[in-house]
Amino acid sequence: MKAARLALLAIAIAGAAPADPAEDRFREANDLVRAGDYPKAIALYQQVASSGQESASLYWNWAQAASARGAQGEALWALLRARELDPGDRAVARDVERLREALNLDPAEIAPEPLAAVGRFARRFRLDLVALVLLALSLVAHGVVRVGPGRRPASRLAWSALALGLLAAAVPLAASFARPTAAVVRRGAPLLDSASPTAEPTGSLRDGEVVPVLESSGEWVRVEDNAGARGWAHVADARRLDVPPEPPRE
């Protein structure tokens, strides 16, 4: 009887637990997409993402809403952000390729940093965890070599695990040197000569193009386009792929 009462109490507590506001906003945004109210849906997706409740599915839905609205660059950014969170999602990879072709961008124009691809590979296969396991195995095997019989097989295992562990650790380490990148989400976004709304434009950025971020200053990022031109762009026009978006403006 006591166990039954405890079980009923646990169910009551779970039922009384407050709903997750982010989950509620996500469902509300999905309902708005189905109703065709894409701007409001995107604003809600942005609220959820900026609160730290990110997921590949959230950005995939965001991409569908942006694409239906005609904002192809924003849709590509959302898909690329989804790919950062879940590098192994094949549906996201297919949609990235489809949008790249629709925007008439070369593969290099959405992948200016080769080390970023290395980082996605490392995250997909959890090479950081693999490295830790292999290095721990190497330590154990080295301990066996010192105190136990059968030292020759243990010695081979120890050195093999050490070599493989260092190799696995080298991949995410190399990826950490990749420059941050941003995707252009507005067609004809200006490239300015300084971080100011009154600065002179020196060119424009292609919708959907991914550009390396050279430095940041408040709401501005200094970027380099595929042709090598450098300048400043507003964060509303060039959204970074390595961090969540800013909350929507009121």
The pLDDT value given to residue 17:
44
Q: Do 87 and 51 sit in the same domain of this protein? A: yes
State how many domains the chain has.
3
What CATH number did the domain enclosing 68 receive? 1.25.40.10
Query: Cα separation of 55 and 29, whole Å?
Result: 14
Residue 4 has pLDDT above 80, yes or no: no
**Residues paired with 216 in a beta bridge:** 221
The pLDDT value given to residue 172:
95
In a domain, 86, yes or no: yes
Q: 154-173 pLDDT, tens per residue?
A: 788 889 999 999 999 999 99
In a domain, 111, yes or no: no
Mean pLDDT of 218-241: 95
In a domain, 245, yes or no: no
- Whether the pTM exceeds 0.75: the reply is yes
Residue 9 has pLDDT above 80, yes or no: no
In a domain, 162, yes or no: yes
Q: CA torsion 199→201→204→209, rounded to 10°?
A: -30
Q: Do 200 and 169 sit in the same domain of this protein? A: no
**Length in residues, the chain:** 250
The strand order across the sheet containing 201-204 reads 201-204, 190-192, 230-234, 220-224, 210-217, 181-184, 238-240
Q: Which domain does 155 fall in, by range?
A: 121-175
Q: 101-119 pLDDT, tens per residue?
A: 999 999 999 999 999 999 9
Q: Do 93 and 24 sit in the same domain of this protein? A: yes
Q: 13-65 pLDDT, tens per residue?
A: 344 445 578 899 999 999 999 999 999 999 999 999 999 999 999 999 999 99
- Show Cβ contacts of residue 215 under 8 Å, excluding neighbours closer than 6 positions: 221, 222
Q: Do 71 and 12 sit in the same domain of this protein? A: yes
For residues 178 and 119, the answer to whether their CB atoms sit within 8 Å is yes
In a domain, 247, yes or no: no
Q: How far is CA 124 from CA 50, 88, 89, 181, 233, in A?
A: 23, 6, 9, 19, 31
The pLDDT value given to residue 149:
63
Percentage of the chain with pLDDT > 90?
A: 80
The pLDDT value given to residue 154:
77
In a domain, 112, yes or no: no
| Confidence class for position 79, pLDDT limits 50, 70, 90 | very high
The closest of 77, 54, 55, 53 to 65, measured between CA atoms, is: 77
By three-state DSSP, how is residue 59 classified?
helix
Higher pLDDT, 175 or 143: 175
Q: 211-221 pLDDT, tens per residue?
A: 999 999 999 99
